[in-house]
Amino acid sequence: MMSDISAQEIVGLRKWLYRHLQPSAWNKDGLSPLNRFIFVVICLAVAVAVLESEPAIYQGREKWFFAAEMVFGSIFLVEYLARVWTSAENPAYGGGLRGTLRYIFSLPAIIDLLAMSTLFLVFVGNETSILRLFRLIRILSLAKLGRYSSAIRAMAEAVKSRRYELLMSLAIACMLLLTSSTLLYIVEGDAQPAVFGSIPRAMWWSIATLTTVGYGDVVPATVIGKLLAGVTAITGIGLIAMPTGILAAAFSDAIQRQREAKKHKEPVGQG
């Protein structure tokens, strides 16, 4: 009898923890107190990673940074294990052991694991640039905030709903890039072989022009080349506006759907 009660209590604790960890399972507005705490910890961990990259701040304070990373790493470890344990309650993964394995190999869980594991690299040391680079991967913690933000979820839904239009925009961009690079190679190749002597070399100029960045380090010298550059620059404005308009419309639709879903859900919660 005691074992049955204990099992029920464990299941009840897992369901309670799942409701507090999973934003979609939280039946109140905003984030649960637990997720608010995790949100603050993520922001602090990223701030520490940024400050640690500055030698003037880090040197002489190594013990403080070490202690902070141990605290953040411990919190993220507990959070990761709690999410693995409660993933059995998530219907999106099917429940049971198979559902837990599906969660472990899902993108959110991999991001959690990477962000947590890099914090414990303080035990390895700071001797090489490669290790410091891997330790800065902890900034992936910011990606975890996506599960807490309805706006980010709406953005992901918008990208998914307009993926074919965005792929078409990408295809058009690639064709324009290749066309402009080829034309500048033909026109400017002899005059400036160092920067336009091949199509791959000319692509650097085309990328900077089509994206409207315009570094100015490479410019056409011939009259025809300048005319082509003007056409490429004008085309680049439309090229940037195309996916921007597609995403803006899709994002607006996604936000509207979320608002409508929330309105339909409110009477049920009140009842």
**Alpha-carbon torsion (149, 155, 157, 160), positive or negative:** negative
The two structure tokens encoding residue 103: 């969660």
Q: What percent of the chain has pLDDT over 70?
A: 82
> How many Å is the Cα radius of gyration of the chain?
26
Mean pLDDT of all residues in 102-123: 76
Neighbouring C-beta atoms of residue 49, cutoff 10 Å = 22
Mean pLDDT of all residues in 20-32: 79
- Supply the mean pLDDT for the chain: 81
* Domains of the chain by start residue, with CATH: 2-148 (1.20.120.350), 163-270 (1.10.287.70)
CA angle centred on 214, ends 210 and 219, rounded to 5°: 100
pLDDT, residue 231, reads 93
- Whether the pTM exceeds 0.95: the reply is no
Neighbouring C-beta atoms of residue 170, cutoff 10 Å = 12
For 143-187, the DSSP string reads HHGGGG-HHHHHHHHHHHHTHHHHHHHHHHHHHHHHHHHHHHHHH
More confident call, 141 vs 193: 193
Q: Is the model's pLDDT at 271 over the cut of 60? A: no
Comparing 46-55, 120-129, 173-182, 253-262, the range with the smallest average pLDDT is: 120-129
Q: Is the model's pLDDT at 135 over the cut of 60? A: no
Q: Cα–Cα distance between 260 and 248 in angstroms, integer?
A: 18
More confident call, 220 vs 98: 220
Query: Best-predicted range by mean pLDDT among 43-52, 97-106, 135-144, 177-186?
Result: 177-186
More confident call, 178 vs 39: 178
| CA 242 to each of CA 12, 185, 211, 212, 233: distance values in angstroms, whole numbers, following the listed order | 50, 27, 12, 14, 15
pLDDT, residue 2, reads 46
pLDDT, residue 159, reads 83
